Amino acid sequence: MMQDEPSAVSQERDVPVGETYVYEVQLRWSDEDRMGHLNNTRYLTFAEDARTRWFAMAPRDEGDQAGFILARMEVDYLQQVRTADNDWLKVVNTVLGVGRSSLRIQQEIQRMDGEVVNRVIATQVHFDYDRDSSVPWTDTQRAWLERFATVKPDATDPVAAGTT
Amino acid sequence: MAYTTLVPLRWGDMDAYGHINNAVFISYLEQARVNAFHSTPDDSSGADLLNEGVVVVEHTIRYRRQLPYSNVPLRVVCWTDQIKSATYTTAYRLWNDAGAEPELVATAKTLLAPVNFATGRPRRLTAQERTFLARFGPEESAD
C-alpha cells in the first residue's frame, strides 16, 4: 500500500448497497422431526454450510493462518417448513457490519420462491486457532467483506464501529 | 434402470479426521432411496410405501476410499438388487466427482421391509409395489 493513501479505518465509510451470497440447500429426509416439519436445529446447520462456502471465497494473505470462529447467533423462526413441500431452501447472506476483527452478518433462510422462513444474525470473529486469539481483518479482507454490506454501518453499533 | 441422484455434502458431515464420517454414509443411502421413490411422477407407489412405513433390516457398507468434504455433491447410483415376498434389497455405488476422475468411495446394500405401523407387524409387498421396485435396476456394470 502507498504511504499517502488515506487510512482504511475511517469513521465514515461509504458502503455501496452490496452483493448477496446465495447458498441453496437440499433438504434431507432426516431433517424432518416427529412434528413433521424441519427441526429447529437444522436451520443452524444450513446457516453453517452457507457461511463455510461463502467464507471459503474470502481473500487471504500469504502466511495468514487465521480462520473464522462463531461468537454469537440470534435466530428468528418465522415459518415452519414441511419437507415434503420443499425439497430445497436457500440461504441469502449479507453483511451488517465489519469491526476490527469481527463481522456481523444476516442469513435469511427462504423458500425457493423467496418467502422468508427463518432469519439468523451471526457474529463471526477472524481468529487464529493455534494462538487462540482474534486477528484484525486485513484491508483486502475488509474490502471484500464490505462488498456484501447492504446498509451503511451504524456508528452506534459497537461491531460496526470497530470497537469489538 | 438404476437411479442416479446428487447429494450435497454438509460441513457438519465431516469429523475430526477431516473426512466424511462413516456413520453419515447411512444418511446418504437413505436420501438416495427417498429421492428414488419421489422420482416417478407417473407412479406414487414409492411415495405411498414411504408414507405407510418401510424399515431398514440390515445395512452392508464397504468403504473403499476416504471422502473429503467438498462443494461437489456425492453421486449415488442405486437400484433394486433383490425382491422377496416381504423384503427387498437396494444396492448402491457412491461416487466422488470432486477429482479429475470419478472415484468409487463406497458400495452398499440395504435390506428393507414394509411394515404396518398400526399393528407393528411386517407385511408382504403388494404386486404393485413389486412392479415399482423392479423399475430400478440393476445397474449395468454392477459387480
What chain A holds in terms of domains, given with CATH numbers, is 21-146 (3.10.129.10)
Q: Is the dihedral of CA A164, A52, A24, A26 positive or negative?
A: negative
pTM, rounded to two decimals: 0.84
Amino acid sitting at position B11:
W
CB atoms A45 and B10 under 8 Å: yes
| Segment B76-94 mean pLDDT | 97
pLDDT at position A161 is: 46
User: C-alpha grid cell for residue A152?
Assistant: 451503511
B interface test, pick of A34, A49, A83 with most B CB neighbours within 10 Å: A49
- Asked whether residue B97 is assigned to any structural domain, the reply reads yes
Helix (H) or strand (E) segment spanning residue A110: strand A102-111
| Segment B51-57 mean pLDDT | 92
Helix (H) or strand (E) segment spanning residue B103: strand B103-116
CB atoms B11 and A49 under 8 Å: yes
CB atoms A26 and B27 under 8 Å: no
Number of structural domains chain B divides into: 1
In this predicted structure, the answer to whether residue B138 has a pLDDT above a threshold of 90 is: no
- Least confident range from A17-26, A146-155, B24-33, B47-56: namely A146-155
Distance CA A54, CA A50 (A): 6
A159 against B85, higher pLDDT:
B85
Q: How confident is residue A85, by pLDDT bands cut at 50, 70 and 90?
A: low
CB atoms B8 and A29 under 8 Å: no
Closest CA in chain A for residue B14: A49
Q: How confident is residue A65, by pLDDT bands cut at 50, 70 and 90?
A: confident
Is residue B67 within 8 Å of residue B105, measured between CB atoms? Answer: yes
Q: How far is CA B128 from the centre of its chain?
A: 20
pLDDT at position A3 is: 35
Distance CA B67, CA B22 (A): 9
pLDDT at position A14 is: 41
Is residue A25 within 8 Å of residue A49, measured between CB atoms? Answer: yes
Distance CA A152, CA A146 (A): 10
Is residue B108 within 8 Å of residue B29, measured between CB atoms? Answer: yes
Helix (H) or strand (E) segment spanning residue B45: helix B45-52
In this predicted structure, the answer to whether residue A69 has a pLDDT above a threshold of 50 is: yes
Peptide bond between residue A158 and the one before it cis (omega within 30 degrees of 0): no
pLDDT at position B140 is: 62
- Least confident range from A22-26, A85-89, A155-159: namely A155-159
Distance CA B2, CA B95 (A): 14
Closest CA to B106 of B78, B69, B133, B71: B78
Range of the domain at B25: 3-134
CATH of the domain at B69: 3.10.129.10
B112 against A15, higher pLDDT:
B112
Helix (H) or strand (E) segment spanning residue A64: none
- Asked whether residue B143 is assigned to any structural domain, the reply reads no
* Residue A26 forms contact with B (CB below 8 Å): yes
B interface test, pick of A52, A89, A129 with most B CB neighbours within 10 Å: A52
- Asked whether residue B139 is assigned to any structural domain, the reply reads no
| ipTM (interface pTM) | 0.87
| Segment B104-109 mean pLDDT | 98
